[in-house]
Structure 1
Amino acid sequence: MRLVFAGTPAVAVPTLRALAAQHEIAAVVTRPDAPLGRKRDLTPSPVADEAERLGLPVIKAARLDDEATRRISALHAELGVIVAYGGIVREPLLSAPHHGWINLHFSLLPAWRGAAPVQRALIAADAALGVSVFRLVPELDAGDVFAMRTVAVPGDATADIALDVLAADGAALTGEVVAGIAAGTATATPQSGSPSLAPKLVLQDGALDWTQPLSAVYARYRGVTPEPGAHTTIDGARLKILAATPAPDAPGVAPGMLTGSKSSVFIACADGSLEVTRVQPAGKGAMNAADWWRGMRADPGVRAGS
């Protein structure tokens, strides 16, 4: 098929790579170069980098406005495929390809419609994660579903690792759907069940509440790592928690109380503790939690706040 592909972050790259191996990609649509790093150098998106490597034409657009619509419509694509582009496809662009658009979404729809499905699913400690390929419609992530797959994700995976796993499975599933549309055998069915929403995370979503059970604290840590980042406060200063594991058998102390060892720091929850192994204090670089703890020379009764 002749396709137009829209995507921006690294999780969209496996799907672009898979489709480019089997179909004609008329153009790749991605967000413009963005400032990254300490020097804020303008840097192409991961999808733009992959498109260049594959020798594909690239359209960089901050939003799919009239100009972008004109350029994409002129491609006469048979199908549009979108994976985490970061913008909304509206009419008349939605109907421009002969078969419309399909979207790879990183949830088992209708669960977690929105910008942060994996993060929200991890925070909610969902029993299963997965991917869905659905027909794009004006309403947010509400179109009929062509295919859905539950994906096995490691139980200690943070959001970035979970997304990498889902991106690989999602690429394969999208390829199957595109092949079915090309062959005229693909069918889509309406979503069933009550939808839940997955709005973009903000900094406050990363605040850990030590009065909650360990399972809830660890679930939030997984969902907000690496962005916006799990954090707490010590004496009013933010401490970012970069690496942690559950310690359900740690000695019982009051929620939020810190205890240190030679290799790590334990922060008590309502039951059990979170073993913190790597942190980043405000204004400083990342370091081992035990080194930070020794440098703190903290009183035995120091307590973390959310």
Structure 2
Amino acid sequence: MRVVFMGTPSFAVPSLKALAAAYDVALVVTRPDAVRSRGKKLEPSPVKVAALELGLPVLETSRMTPEVQDELRAQQADVFCVAAFGCILPTDVLTMAPAGCVNVHASLLPRWRGAAPIQRSILAGDDATGVSIMRIGEGVDTGDYCAQASCSVAGKTADELTAELASLGGELLVRTLPAIVDGTATWQVQDEALVTHAAKIAKAEMLLDPAASVRDNMLRVLASSDAAPARCIIGGKPVRVLAAQVAPDMSAAGSAAFEVRGKRLYLACSDGVFEVTELKPDGKRAMEAAAWAAGLRERMGTWERLA
């Protein structure tokens, strides 16, 4: 089987590696080198790095120009496979390969169509999420799907859940592809009555708030990312909370209070208390909360939502 693969971030790498181990990947298409971290240097996409390590040809593009489409057509692939490519595909590309264009989507469609399905599943407190192998259509994640696989959500960070779903998606794609190509796959139309939308995460959504519940604040910590971190002000100092855990059976010193007990840092919320275990003060490195709290003059005070 001859495949063209399109993808960009680390989520797409397991799919690429699984395809390369099982089939003939004729071409890997990814977005161009870009500034991807806090430095100012251009960096290749994770998919480009993986493709070069596998010895696969790479085409970098952010648009499906006529020249790019000519290159895709020249590969004479049986199917195009996509995983978080980050570029809108025109109809000519979607119909170019005999078996069409299929996508690895990180949710159990029709739940969480859109840009941020993994973080949305965490913020919503979903018990389970998963991956769907779907046809790419004209709308955003509206296509039929032919296979799904699920996993639990509870207690996992966005990074942990992304890695698990990426691996699950690669395995499912490779297993499903033969049926897609030979036409025996069974396609399921999405039930529009069950659709939920996974809009891009806004930074304000992730701000920790003493007026919110412990559960809501904990979910924000789990779902946080570099682009939308879980932040707050503790004792007048802005910090990003990297890890936390529920502190059961603890009385709060008062709503919107923080307290250092021994080497532990506790934040009181509307309905209880949670413990911060790792944080990153603005302008400094990440550290254990105990080390940061040791530098506080006061053992008790207030914490607040960033304005």
Same fold (TM over 0.5): yes
CA distance in 2, matches of 1:265, 1:259: 6
SS in structure 2 opposite 1:121? helix
Spell out, residue by residue over 1:99-140, the C-alpha distance to the aligned partner (whole angstroms, 9 max, x if none): 110011110111111111010110010121111111100100
CA distance in 1, matches of 2:98, 2:160: 35
Deviation of 1:299 (Å)? 6.4
CA distance in 2, matches of 1:275, 1:234: 13
Task: Mark the CA change 1:253 to 1:225 in structure 2 (over 3 Å): closer, same or farther.
Answer: farther
SS in structure 1 opposite 2:177? helix
Deviation of 1:264 (Å)? 2.5
CA distance in 2, matches of 1:145, 1:39: 39
Compute the TM-score of the two structures, normalised by the length of structure 2: 0.93
CA distance in 2, matches of 1:268, 1:176: 48
Task: Mark the CA change 1:171 to 1:304 in structure 2 (over 3 Å): closer, same or farther.
Answer: same
Amino acid at match of 2:63: R
Partner residue of 2:165? 166
Partner residue of 2:176? 177
Partner residue of 2:228? 228
Q: Which runs of 5+ in 1 are unaligned?
A: none
SS in structure 1 opposite 2:294? helix
Q: Which moved more, 1:63-72 or 1:237-246?
A: 63-72
Answer whether contact 1:252 1:271 (CA < 8 A) is retained: no
Q: Which runs of 5+ in 2 are unaligned?
A: none
Matched ranges for 1:1-306 at <5 A: 1-153=1-153, 155-192=154-191, 193-225=193-225, 227-234=227-234, 237-298=237-298, 300-306=300-306
Spell out, residue by residue over 1:232-281, the C-alpha distance to the aligned partner (whole angstroms, 9 max, x if none): 12466531001111113222233321011333311111122121011111
Answer whether contact 1:133 1:147 (CA < 8 A) is retained: yes
SS in structure 2 opposite 1:140? coil
CA distance in 1, matches of 2:263, 2:82: 45
Deviation of 1:22 (Å)? 1.5
Answer whether contact 1:263 1:277 (CA < 8 A) is retained: no
Compute the TM-score of the two structures, normalised by the length of structure 1: 0.93
Answer whether contact 1:205 1:224 (CA < 8 A) is retained: no
CA distance in 2, matches of 1:291, 1:152: 32
Percent identity over the alignment is 38
Deviation of 1:199 (Å)? 1.8
Amino acid at match of 1:181: I
SS in structure 1 opposite 2:114? coil
CA distance in 2, matches of 1:170, 1:56: 21
Q: Which moved more, 1:221-230 or 1:278-287?
A: 221-230
CA distance in 2, matches of 1:46, 1:39: 16
CA distance in 1, matches of 2:132, 2:38: 36
CA distance in 2, matches of 1:258, 1:250: 12
SS in structure 2 opposite 1:221? helix
SS in structure 1 opposite 2:270? coil
The total of aligned residue pairs comes to 305
